Every structure is written in structure tokens, then in C-alpha cells.
Amino acid sequence: TTLNIVGATSGDTGSAAEHAFRGKDRINVFMLSPQGRMSTFQRAQMYSLVDENIHNIAVEGVFDDAQNLVKALSNDLEFKRGHNLGAVNSINLARITSQVVYYFWAWLRATDRSGAQEVSVTVPSGNFGNILAGYFAKSMGVPIRRLVLAANENNVLDEFFRTGIYRPRAAAQTLATSSPSMDISKASNLERFLFDLLGRDAERMNSAWRELDETGSIDFTSELPRLTGEFGFGSGTSTHADRLATIQGVYEATGDIIDPHTADGVKVARDYVEDGVPMLVMETAKPAKFQETITEAIGVTIPLSDELQQMLEAPQHVVEMAADEKALRDYVSANAVR
């Protein structure tokens, strides 16, 4: 049995997948990432690997371009079966299922300590994976009062939850920010939530997606009361200035250093705090991965272990590729394990 994993990453989960499968027999990983859109640390985590079964592919464009290529290959069942393709990261529902556990555990711990009956959770969100797991946990009975989505300047999802209009942006309008793992315009996991929003009606879902293809947006304004009421969602946007101020404020108050994505979450969470309801924020990454922003915010350089310093200085191995489906097909076909 062989497996060729084809995935796309905006910065963090790609390296997790690569380190999990590096050196494994009969498994290859083809990980697409957006050229120039990740931090120095994130690139080093992935591109410094020398294992023969790890293939880093830097795609021209943004994360959405890379994700579209992965979906194109996955939707071609003949190619998928012929090359034994598999998926990782949140495009794979197994990852979402595993994350559901976070919410059960977090509710148990938070209510043990506070005596509260329910909690709210704020999630810095890019591909809508982690917060989708929260929605599933809430649907399974975890007493979550509110699920709050924190966006950065690429705030397509904040616009959706505030207005009911879903309007993904083109690559040219997707900004490069200091919380790069959230630089996503068309979150693939939102489709899984919208299926529930539309009553799990496949024809309504197909009709909505035809509307998106034809007009560039979908109007869900009639469902807006359910988004905030029945489903309990809230949302907000955080900017670079907000990230800096939040990192600085948390550091001065507690001595803890949080990464820029977590800072987006903390900033947005403050607008939804309610008396008697603990507000939890999902921490997303190690701050050392985003040293430039941390230094800008608090003037601190986070010390790295010798191993991590060597990783940053190691030669990098990456193939640059246009956002071209044929080029990716040819590369996977030439390098797939059979």
C-alpha cells in the first residue's frame, strides 16, 4: 500500500504534516505553500527538510491558489485513484474531528475552575477548520454560548457573519499580513458549515455555489438571524496595529508572549466578553515563528535552541511553480510513490 499526500498550507499545518511523515516508507508528501507569504521560521520548518519523501512546492500567488490546485487534483477521481492521493490539514475531515476534542476538554477545565455552566470561545480563523470543530462540538452538546471568529485584514468571513454576504476576494485583493496563516480569502471549510446552514439540502447548496461562480458572491442575509442566534456565531477584525497593541498589552500585564494570530483572537474576544461566561481564546502558534512582529511589538528577541537556530541556517529545498494544474499533475506523476 502506498499513499501520496497532496496538501496546501498557509504556514503552520504544512510543516506539522511533513514532520509527521518524514522518512516514512511508501508515503510521499507534496506540500504546496504560497511563495513569499510565510514567515522566515515557517519556511525554514518546511524547506529545511531533506527527506526524499518530502516535496515542498512554492506556488505563485496566495494560499487560495495553492488550495485550488489541491482541490482540482482531488476532484479528478481517476487521477486521485491512479496515484493513491490522500489529504492532510483541515481539508481532511479527520483533522476537524480530532479538533472537536479540544472543545470538550476546554469546557470541562474552564467550568471546573470557574463554576460557570457554559463558555464562549474565540478562534483566530483562516480556513475555518478549528472553529468548524467548535461548531461540531456545540452541535454535539458542549455548552458553548458563542463561537467568535477572529479575522485579520483578509476579513471575508467577518463580513459574512456580520452581513450575511459571502464574497471571497481574488488573489490580488488578498493582503499579505503579519498574521500570515490567516491570509486566506476562500475558506474551504466554510462550505461544510454552509451545508448545515442550508438544511443539508444538496440542491440548495449547488444552487448557492452556482450563484457564487456566476456573480462572485452569495446572499445569505435571510439566514443572518440564525447565524448569530441559533448557531451562536460572532466575529470581528484585527489589524496589524491591533496585533502590536495586543501583544504589548498581554506582555505588560502577564509577562506572556503571544503570537500575532493569537493576538487577533484576544483583540476580537474582548468585544464579546460577558459576565459569568468564561471567554477562551484558541492559541495558534509559537511566537518565535514571528520574531519580526514580536520585536516590533515589545522589543524582545525570543531565544532559540541550537536545534532551531541550525534549522534557520540550513539549506532550503523547494520547487517553485506557477499556479498551474498541469504543472502540478506532471510533478506529482513524476515523483509519486507507487
1-28 confidence digits (pLDDT tens): 899 999 999 887 899 999 999 999 999 9
pLDDT digits (tens, 9 = 90+) for 285-320: 999 999 999 999 999 999 999 999 999 999 999 999
Sort 163 into a burial class: Cβ within 10 Å, 0-12 / 13-18 / 19+: middle
Q: What contacts 9, CB < 8 A, 6 or more positions away?
A: 15, 17, 31, 32, 33, 46, 63, 66, 89
pTM of the model: 0.93
Distance, CA of 274 to chain centre: 27
Q: What is the mean pLDDT of residues 229-240?
A: 97
| Residue 88: predicted pLDDT | 85
- Closest by CA to 270, choosing from 239, 238, 248, is 238
How many angstroms separate the CA atoms of 170 and 180, rounded? Answer: 16
List every span in the chain annotated with CATH 3.40.50.1100.
Answer: 3-91+305-335, 93-298
| Residue 148: predicted pLDDT | 98
pLDDT above 90: percentage of residues in the chain: 94
* CATH, range 3-91+305-335: 3.40.50.1100
The answer, yes or no, to whether residue 90 has pLDDT greater than 90, is: no
Unique residue bearing C-alpha cell 477548520: 129
Q: Does domain 93-298 have CATH number 3.40.50.1100?
A: yes
Q: What is the mean pLDDT of residues 180-198?
A: 95
| Residue 288: predicted pLDDT | 95
| Residue 35: predicted pLDDT | 95
Q: How confident is the model at residue 233 (pLDDT cuts 50, 70, 90)?
A: very high
The answer, yes or no, to whether residue 91 has pLDDT greater than 90, is: no
Q: What is the mean pLDDT of residues 160-177?
A: 96
CA atoms within 13 A on the CB side of 117: 1
pLDDT digits (tens, 9 = 90+) for 113-159: 889 999 999 999 999 999 999 999 999 999 999 999 999 999 999 99
Q: How confident is the model at residue 273 (pLDDT cuts 50, 70, 90)?
A: very high
The answer to whether 310 touches 62, Cβ cutoff 8 Å, is no
Q: What is the mean pLDDT of the chain?
A: 96
CA atoms within 13 A on the CB side of 132: 25
pLDDT digits (tens, 9 = 90+) for 204-224: 999 999 999 999 999 999 999
Q: What is the mean pLDDT of residues 170-198?
A: 95
* End-to-end alpha carbon distance in the chain: 8
| Residue 70: predicted pLDDT | 95
